[in-house]
Amino acid sequence: MKDGQESKERPVRMTSNKLSVQVAINSWGLIVERANKIFSNLTDDELLREVAPGRNRLIYLLGHLTAVHDAMFPILGLGERLHPELDAIFVSSPDKTGAQLPPVAELKKYWDEVNGKLLSQFATLSADEWLQRHYAMSEEDYAKDPGRNRLAVLLSRTNHMSYHLGQIALAVK
Amino acid sequence: MKDGQESKERPVRMTSNKLSVQVAINSWGLIVERANKIFSNLTDDELLREVAPGRNRLIYLLGHLTAVHDAMFPILGLGERLHPELDAIFVSSPDKTGAQLPPVAELKKYWDEVNGKLLSQFATLSADEWLQRHYAMSEEDYAKDPGRNRLAVLLSRTNHMSYHLGQIALAVK
């Protein structure tokens, strides 16, 4: 553990840097928990509701969020995706194209799998690694803007999840 | 500038800690900009639209977000609120209670004022100050959980804004 060794020399600074990252991971975890609570209580029929008339159905947003979270594995350098097949239905295409969706039970399982594995993988990255470039950008671009790092991806995806959670809440309250 | 002095001794770590905070502020700023773009393009009449049938109107969410952001000044120890009078209408009460709302032009002005001042105040806090307790909690609670700091408040309010922005988008696209 590089962090652990360095913390003997620089206890305050090291703790601060780790703490910043931990706060960001906590924020992600909190929104995932809120989404879990909502999705786990919805029946198959309820998942077919639209968030507003003519807009996305809850089942589409469940698949969409799962696909976008699954894509975080390669972007964060945390390995291969678990369900790349979801992109064609839930990212590249809008809702209600007539495409056959995976069964609800499968989608709920994927959602849990992807978020569970992400959270455990997050813990394997050191605070410094969170500030290294993400894999969707080149070394050159990172050199120009070191703010485009893994941590920025985490915050961006947390905001994305919050955005859709606000929509989802309209159909379940 | 405490940070500037320390960076000579600990260049890498200091940069890392500041960078984490900067990434969080950038994330906040990005969502504020998106909201700005939407709100500034809406007419007075359009602001009376509901995000979904029977739900909050856009004007209420504009006032709600302004009030919640305004409350960040004391919570983050950045001074007095600019518009505490907004809470009675936009936080303590739901929408459509028959309460007289401030004129749209005033609300839009408050929104810009509050967010503008917040962003400039954010820049006055050092990276370490972002990791100190926020003022809505006691020293005792902070000692139990140092993750409940200013940075956590910033991320929480960014998620809150994203949540409502997702709803707002349903009524403007």
Section B32-46 average pLDDT: 97
How close is the nearest chain A Cα to the Cα of B104, in Å? 24
The model's pLDDT over B23-36, given as tens digits with 9 standing for 90+, comes to 999 999 999 999 99
Output the DSSP codes for B112-131. HHHHHHHHHHHTTS-HHHHT
A50 φ/ψ angles, rounded to the nearest 5 degrees? -90, 150
Cα(A85)–Cα(B138) distance, integer angstroms: 48
Give pLDDT, residue B137: 77
The residues on A that touch B, with CB distances below 8 Å, are 6, 10, 12-14, 16-17, 19-24, 26-27, 31, 51-53, 55, 127-128, 130-131, 146-147, 149, 151-152, 155-156, 158-160, 162-167, 169-171
Asked if A129 contacts A154 with a C-beta cutoff of 8 angstroms, the reply is: no
Residue B87's pLDDT is: 98
Nearest to B149 among A23, A131, A149 (CB): A23
The DSSP 8-state label assigned to residue B162 in this structure reads: H
B81 pLDDT more than 90: yes
pLDDT of residue A15: 64
Choose between B85 and A146: higher pLDDT: B85
Cβ contact, residue pair B20, A22, below 8 Å: no
pLDDT of residue A172: 92
Q: Which residues of B touch A (CB under 8 A)?
A: 6, 10, 13-14, 16-17, 19-24, 26-27, 31, 51-53, 55, 127-128, 130-131, 146-147, 149, 151-152, 155-156, 158-160, 162-167, 169-171
Helix (H), strand (E) counts: chain B: 9, 0
pLDDT for A43 = 96
| Helix spans in chain A (H) | 2-9, 11-41, 58-70, 72-75, 86-90, 104-122, 127-130, 139-144, 150-172
User: Which residues of A fall within a CB distance of 8 Å from B17?
Assistant: 13, 16-17, 20
Identify the three-state secondary structure at position B3. helix
Q: Is the dihedral of CA A69, A73, A78, A82 positive or negative?
A: positive
Global pTM? 0.90
Give the residue ranges of chain A where pLDDT is below 50. 1-14
What mean pLDDT, rounded, does chain B reach?
90
Report phi then psi at B10, rounded to 5.
Answer: -130, 65
* CB atoms B158 and A155 under 8 Å: yes
Return the residue matching tokens 């960001």: A24
The pLDDT, as a whole number, for residue A55 is: 97
Measure A13 CA to nearest chain B CA, in Å. 7
> Which residue of chain B comes nearest to A19, CA vs CA?
B147
CA-based nearest distance A57→chain B, Å: 13
Backbone angle region of B38, left / alpha / beta, with phi > 0 → left and psi within -120 to 50 → alpha? alpha
Which among B110, B112, B146, B115 is positioned nearest to B131, based on CA atoms? B146
Q: For residue range B107-146, what is the model confidence (pLDDT) as tens digits? A: 999 999 999 999 999 999 999 999 988 877 788 888 888 8
The Cα–Cα gap between B4 and B11 comes to 10
- Is A170 within 8 Å of B167 when comparing Cβ atoms? yes
In chain B, what residues touch A159 (CB-CB under 8 Å)?
Answer: 27, 31, 158-159, 162
Q: Return the pLDDT at B134.
A: 80
Read off the DSSP letter of residue B95.
S
CA B79 to chain centre: 15
pLDDT at A13: 46
CA atoms within 13 A on the CB side of A64: 19
